């Protein structure tokens, strides 16, 4: 090879290296730009954009909102805050006495109509769903909030999970949610189809337990992950029917199910959590890469965003940390149970 050929070869190599470096640089700029845009979008969703106007969902016009798991905690708070927005209510839960008490209180306080239905969805009885259909079929319903849910009593290895607990979780979280939605969604569609300025809304409670695969809560984690894909798919199906579908992701909230009583920066009470949810419907907040999904409470949103942008929800390190966290909860719960047994 002549000296000139060698120079040309080196020049060609340098040109290839320069092209590669520019490609890497361009890719880096693109990734940085999209990260900045996602961060700004999250901050706008959480802190700057005004609260959603529920007039588009028929607030104050005699329309109904159906809430499942409505007698306590987050479900009761959803009912309260939707009543404050002028919706009539259909409340479905297990304990009739609690439902009747809420009915009396809300009808007097908010001057709305409240229908109640007591049923145990864990029974998976077809007559329950027939009662829902009979109660709701002639009502102008525009909103469904799928709040009913069940978790494990304490973190437990999957191989030690009792069959009745496993079946209850799947029946309540999945089967009941799907069957109730099949009943209510057509009613919502028929209510809004001829109203130009009106839309329907279906909210379903998800969980960080479904967002992040969670050892020692495997059945619950799987049931909530199912709701993520189902709800997102449903959003695509119903968008042409003027029905907005959203999965609502939450980390810990003080409630009977979480067994947490004390609020903190990371753990809101039901009032705070529901307020953030209803303010942010239609926005993603922390779920910037997920369609038809909202992580509404500000600290939960930032927590999810950081996990997504660093290790990723399916990474081994996040799985290991999650396992250790729930293992420590299980150990404390077993010690507490042992102390009670001695007394």
Residue reference for tokens 């640089």: 25
* Cα atoms in the 13 Å half-sphere on the side-chain side of 261: 0
Question: Binding site for substrate: residue ranges?
Answer: 207
Q: Hey, what are 278's tokens?
A: 């209803």
Q: Looking at the domain covering 52-336, what would its CATH class be?
A: alpha beta
Whether 220 sits among the annotated catalytic residues: the reply is: yes
Q: What is the DSSP string of 129-180?
A: HHHHHHHHTTS-EEEEEE------SS---GGG--HHHHHHHHIIIIIIHHHH
Closest CA to 129 of 66, 38, 74, 192: 66
200-205 and 141-146: which strand pairing?
Answer: parallel
Instruction: Please say whether the beta carbons of 215 and 318 come within 8 A.
Output: no
Query: Domain ranges in the chain?
Result: 52-336
Closest CA to 67 of 55, 53, 56, 78: 78
| Dihedral sign (CA 207, 208, 213, 218) | negative
pLDDT value at position 20? 75
Dist CA 69 CA 118 (whole Å)? 10
Write the burial class of residue 19 (CB in 10 Å: 0-12 exposed, 13-18 middle, 19+ buried).
exposed
Q: Is 140 helix (H, G, I), strand (E, B) or coil?
A: coil
pLDDT value at position 179? 98
The number of residues in the chain equals: 343
For the chain, the first-to-last Cα distance in angstroms comes to 92
* pLDDT tens, the chain, 343 aa long: 554 555 445 455 666 767 777 787 677 778 889 899 999 999 999 999 999 999 999 999 999 999 999 999 999 999 999 999 999 999 999 999 999 999 999 999 999 999 999 999 999 999 999 999 999 999 999 999 999 999 999 999 999 999 999 999 999 999 999 999 999 999 999 999 988 889 999 999 999 999 999 999 999 999 999 999 999 999 999 999 999 999 999 999 998 777 888 999 999 999 999 999 999 999 999 999 899 999 999 999 999 999 999 999 999 999 999 999 999 999 999 999 999 998 7
Dist CA 237 CA 186 (whole Å)? 12
Instruction: Please say whether the beta carbons of 88 and 112 come within 8 A.
Output: yes
Residue reference for tokens 């007039």: 55
Question: Binding site: residue ranges?
Answer: 207
Write the burial class of residue 79 (CB in 10 Å: 0-12 exposed, 13-18 middle, 19+ buried).
buried
Q: What is the DSSP string of 48-65?
A: ISPPP-GGGGTTTTT-EE
Instruction: Please say whether the beta carbons of 218 and 175 come within 8 A.
Output: no
Choosing from 57, 220, 251, 314, which is the catalytic residue? Answer: 220
Dist CA 142 CA 230 (whole Å)? 20
Dist CA 113 CA 90 (whole Å)? 9
> What is the reported pTM?
0.91
Dist CA 65 CA 262 (whole Å)? 30
190: phi then psi, degrees, rounded to nearest 5? -70, -30
């Amino acid at each position: 090879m002549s000296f000139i050929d060698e120079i040309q070869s080196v020049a060609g190599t340098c040109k290839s290296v320069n092209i590669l470096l520019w490609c890497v640089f361009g890719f880096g700029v693109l990734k940085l730009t999209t990260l900045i845009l996602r961060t700004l979008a999250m901050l706008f969703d959480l802190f700057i954009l005004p609260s959603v106007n529920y007039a588009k969902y028929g607030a104050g016009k005699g329309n109904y909102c159906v809430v499942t798991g409505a007698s306590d905690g987050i479900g009761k708070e959803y009912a309260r805050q939707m009543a404050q927005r002028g919706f009539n209510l259909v409340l479905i839960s297990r304990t009739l006495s609690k439902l009747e008490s809420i009915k009396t209180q809300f009808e007097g306080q908010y001057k709305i109509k409240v229908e109640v239905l007591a049923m145990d969805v864990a029974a998976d009885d077809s007559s329950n769903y027939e009662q829902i259909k009979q109660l709701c079929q002639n009502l102008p319903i525009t909103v469904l909030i799928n709040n009913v849910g069940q978790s494990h009593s304490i973190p437990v290895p999957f191989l030690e999970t009792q069959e009745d607990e496993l079946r209850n979780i799947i029946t309540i979280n999945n089967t009941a949610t799907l069957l109730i939605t099949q009943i209510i969604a057509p009613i919502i569609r028929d209510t809004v189809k001829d109203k130009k300025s009106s839309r329907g809304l279906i909210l379903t409670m998800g969980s960080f337990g479904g967002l992040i695969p969670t050892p020692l809560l495997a059945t619950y984690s799987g049931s909530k992950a199912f709701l993520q894909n189902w709800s997102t798919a449903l959003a695509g199906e119903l968008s042409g029917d003027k029905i907005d579908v959203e999965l609502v992701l939450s980390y810990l909230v003080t409630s009977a199910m979480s067994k947490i009583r004390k609020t903190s920066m990371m753990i809101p009470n039901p009032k705070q959590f529901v307020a953030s949810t209803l303010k942010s419907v239609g926005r993603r907040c922390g779920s910037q890469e997920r369609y038809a999904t909202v992580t509404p409470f500000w600290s939960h949103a930032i927590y999810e965003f950081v996990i997504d942008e660093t290790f990723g929800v399916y990474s081994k390190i996040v799985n290991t940390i999650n396992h250790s966290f729930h293992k420590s909860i299980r150990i404390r719960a077993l010690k507490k149970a042992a102390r009670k047994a001695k007394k």
